[in-house]
Amino acid sequence: MNSATNEVKMPRAASTVGGRLASRIFQAGTRDFFGVPGDFNLVLLDQLIAQPGLRMIGCCNELNAGYAADGYARATAGLSVVVVTYMVGGLSVINAAAGAYSDDLPLLVVSGGPNTLDAPANHRVHHTIGEAELYQCAKCFEPVVAETLIIRHLDDAAGMIDRAVTVCLTRRKPVYLEIACNLAGMSLPKPTPITLPPSRSAADPVSLDAAVAALTARIDAAVKPVLVAGVKLRSENATAAFRKLADALGCAVAVMPDAKGLFPESHPAFVGTYWGEVSSLNCAEVVESSDCQLFAGPMFSDYSTAGWTTLTPPSKLVHAGPDFMRMDSAEFTGLRLDSLLDRLASKVARNAASLTSYRRLHIPAALEAAAPEEASLSLKELRRQVQLLLAANTDLVLETGDSWFNGQKLHLPDGACYHFQMQYGSIGWATGATLGISLGGGAERRTVALIGDGSFQLTAQEVSTMIRHGANPIIFIINNRGYTIEVEIHDGPYNNIKNWDYAGLVEVFNAGEGNGLGLSAETAGELAASIERAKSHAGLALIECVLDRDDCTAELLAWGSRVAAANARR
């Protein structure tokens, strides 16, 4: 690499359109891409797999491939790529792209496109709705990606590919890139250097100085300031700066539910999850009694506020977003969250009053006693045993549903990572994401996933892909025969599902050649034995946990009623 020009040497394969894309994503750090073949992308796939060190993970369908790419972006904190065919593949993966947008993930959706000769000839083409206008897929993607790019001319190809990757990495959002099928294997007009994406722009120094001065004065004047970590700390690379501020201020520090894991739970200032009525014990009392609530990188929604039940009045709230800070009636723009927090840490006076209040209130929960081995398996016992499984190298994945609330009750060891999709909340996400997280995390980490039976049935096919590629997650299927989260929001016969033999399904996917392990537990003792077998197993292990239909967390009951009330308001 030439640091002066910020360029890399052109690999030979990059002389074609598809080769350019392969070299570009490999240079960005991607080693696995996900996809499903179709006639519009086959030549493109040939070009991609010709790139040394770049592996295709063929998935069972495009939606699952998108979820896997979502998980890969989370595990690697870098670019992820999903490759599909035109329209029938693109519109299937669009749901995953929308979820990635909600969580600021740099997901590049690459679609093969119609031959460039078809549109001028007014041809009707297969995989479309039968109209002559052939760029419908990009129009569908426009609301859920940062940009749509369609390569129709060779002269545009290198620049559009570079732009797609650059926008993904700098904006931390999905991008849709369509490449006409007859151009993918064609040589570029002339070799052009591959340029690395520019670094993010710095904060405006005048605005930053003013924001730091105003916020320092606000915090120093407060009686009991608190800090609350939000999910956008991750996408803004601001977790280290947030911790620096926490260490300097010495106050109570909470996390929003979707920011669990972004602040060490072993830190002496950690007071739990702030989630309105379903917060950790004594956490809401400390946050809501504070006269200065500094939320860093929050995403406020009906889900994250438990149906708008959090108490964060404008007079107390300081909202530090990715590029702005808002408090009282003032707003400062042109900022960077990491720069704001880092500078603030060197200015504020130490004030531990809110942490002192928490310690007066809080009585640590007693350790759960183990259930008798012969006892029917309960959710409480499942949590207790999963807690013992978690280690510094664990990636914990939680599916939308009661798994959210079970995950919030688990203590994360330092080094463990926590993954769930709160803002978009697409059930079925976790199975595909488990594939991507397992592959992206590498051999030194192990993924543990909690997935409800209803959610699992939506995307179960991707267990076969995990087996195919040697991924080794431990998946707990919480089998209570229905969509429990929907039951608690609004029940009806549509929340019942057909039961499956989940453990037996693994053998179906093994088909005599795989190394998956399927287990089932109906008692506490059976679960303990299953976990021991899973820990020593070299491949995927799936444990079906049979629970009573009404065995769910109290937090789900409370949260569900509040979300239902928010949905029904007039």
By CB neighbour count within 10 A (0-12 exposed, 13-18 middle, 19+ buried), where does 34 fall? buried
By CB neighbour count within 10 A (0-12 exposed, 13-18 middle, 19+ buried), where does 374 fall? exposed
The answer for residues whose C-beta is within 8 angstroms of residue 343's C-beta and 6 or more apart is: 208, 212
What local confidence, expressed as pLDDT, does residue 79 receive? Answer: 97
* Cβ proximity of 506 and 542 under 8 Å: yes
What local confidence, expressed as pLDDT, does residue 555 receive? Answer: 72
Q: Which helix (H) or strand (E) holds 206?
A: helix 205-221
Query: Do both 340 and 251 map to the same domain?
Result: yes
Name beta bridge partners: 319: 295, 326
What local confidence, expressed as pLDDT, does residue 467 receive? Answer: 97
* Cβ proximity of 188 and 3 under 8 Å: no
Cα angle, residue 169 at apex, residues 163 and 174 outer, rounded to 5°: 80
Q: Which helix (H) or strand (E) holds 136?
A: helix 136-141
Query: Do both 151 and 12 map to the same domain?
Result: yes
Q: Is residue 200 part of a domain?
A: no
Among 361, 392, 412, which residue terminates a domain? Answer: 361
The answer for residues whose C-beta is within 8 angstroms of residue 460's C-beta and 6 or more apart is: 431, 505
d(CA 560, CA 552): 11
Query: Do both 305 and 394 map to the same domain?
Result: no
Please give the single-letter amino acid code of residue 529: A
Give the DSSP letter of residue 153.
S
Query: Do both 191 and 213 map to the same domain?
Result: no
Q: Is residue 255 part of a domain?
A: yes
d(CA 102, CA 95): 11
* Cβ proximity of 185 and 17 under 8 Å: yes
What local confidence, expressed as pLDDT, does residue 396 receive? Answer: 98
What local confidence, expressed as pLDDT, does residue 488 receive? Answer: 58
Q: Is residue 311 part of a domain?
A: yes
Spans of the chain, pLDDT less than 70: 1-13, 191, 194-199, 482-495, 554, 557-564
Q: What is the phi/psi pair of residue 299, to 5°? A: -120, 105
Q: Is residue 369 part of a domain?
A: no
Query: Do both 314 and 407 map to the same domain?
Result: no
Name beta bridge partners: 517: 541
CATH of the domain at 418: 3.40.50.970
What local confidence, expressed as pLDDT, does residue 3 receive? Answer: 33
Query: Do both 40 and 139 map to the same domain?
Result: yes
Q: Is residue 368 part of a domain?
A: no
Q: Is residue 480 part of a domain?
A: yes
Query: Do both 229 and 257 map to the same domain?
Result: yes
Query: Do both 403 and 543 map to the same domain?
Result: yes
Query: Do both 445 and 505 map to the same domain?
Result: yes
Among 329, 361, 393, which residue terminates a domain? Answer: 361
d(CA 144, CA 174): 8
Query: Do both 233 and 325 map to the same domain?
Result: yes
The domain in which residue 450 lies consists of: 379-568
Q: Is residue 371 part of a domain?
A: no
Query: Do both 412 and 293 map to the same domain?
Result: no
Among 150, 172, 195, which residue terminates a domain? Answer: 195
Structure token digits, residue 403 = 């798994």
Q: Is residue 366 part of a domain?
A: no
Give the DSSP letter of residue 496.
B
Query: Do both 455 and 561 map to the same domain?
Result: yes
The pTM (predicted TM-score) of the whole model is: 0.91
* Cβ proximity of 73 and 134 under 8 Å: no
Number of independent structural domains in the chain: 3
* Cβ proximity of 112 and 126 under 8 Å: no
